[in-house]
Amino acid sequence: MTVPQYPAPRGLLEGKVVVITAAAGAGIGGATARRCLEEGARVVVSDAHERRLVQSAEELAKEFGADRVSAIPCDVTSEDKVQALYAHAVEVFGRIDVAVNNAGLGGTDALVDMPDERWDRVLDITLNGTMRCTRAALRRMRDQGHGGVIVNNASVIGWRAQKGQSHYAAAKAGVMALTRCAALEAAEFGVRINAVAPSLAMHPHLVKVTSEELLAELTSREAFGRYAEPWEVANVILFLAGEYSSYMTGEVVAVSSQHP
């Protein structure tokens, strides 16, 4: 099945300030940054890979204007760097309206041979990093007093079993639970917190950490017979970030055509 037409901008985030982690490169974070800019937002992009971040930010600034794009490196395993990210966003753009917590680490490791270090690394980036960023964004939004939106990137693997993914599945299931619980706490501040759970979105990093055989198998499970383009996941993030989802909080939305 062919990929649908790329959507035309509709001003869905006009005037909003969006902070996105793991936004360098051609994955979901990069696609989300582009879609937010297309919809009128000002965007702070961050990533642990500084060289790739600078390159991505320069490309976006050239296309959308340097006054609408800012970049700062951030390793989400560091509380100090997470705090610096959100302080930077407020310093540059004066406020934060939307936070997209996209940073995560995957890979394939059989539990029987997995060292503690590998488990801890995946959990620290994927779950703890999402917690740190959610907490930092929520504090800023609470103090601003005008609400806000947080969107976390989970995965359908938080619901579904797959060999070699015990660390990643546990982390993503944790992101789902974190989203639901934090959303109840955030409601009193007028802040909504939701998550997307993609099944299979193709990007260069996924190709590096997944075998061709497994990718082919996962693709064959999709009802449309293809993987999602990163911008298709970004579209759902955009929906959750905007006013069309104003009554949604604590939800985990599958971005998938895969069925058990």
Q: Which residues are known catalytic residues?
A: 168
Rg (CA), the chain: 17
Q: How far apart are CA 61 and CA 66, in angstroms?
A: 4
Q: Which residue's structure tokens are 């390159």? A: 55
Read off the tokens for 63.
């296309």
Helix segments in the chain, DSSP class H? 28-38, 50-64, 79-93, 116-123, 129-144, 166-186, 204-209, 212-220, 230-241
Q: Which residue's structure tokens are 């960023």? A: 133
* For the chain, the helix, strand and coil percentages under 3-state DSSP, each to the nearest 5: 50, 15, 35
CB atoms under 10 Å from CB of 159, counted, come to 16
Read off the tokens for 225.
């017979």
Q: How far apart are CA 200 and CA 206, in angstroms?
A: 9
Picking from 129, 126, 120, 122, the residue whose alpha carbon sits closest to that of residue 107 is 122
Strand partners, 228: 201
Q: How are beta strands 17-20 and 98-101 bridged, if at all?
A: parallel
Q: How far apart are CA 71 and CA 89, in angstroms?
A: 9
Read off the tokens for 51.
């060289």
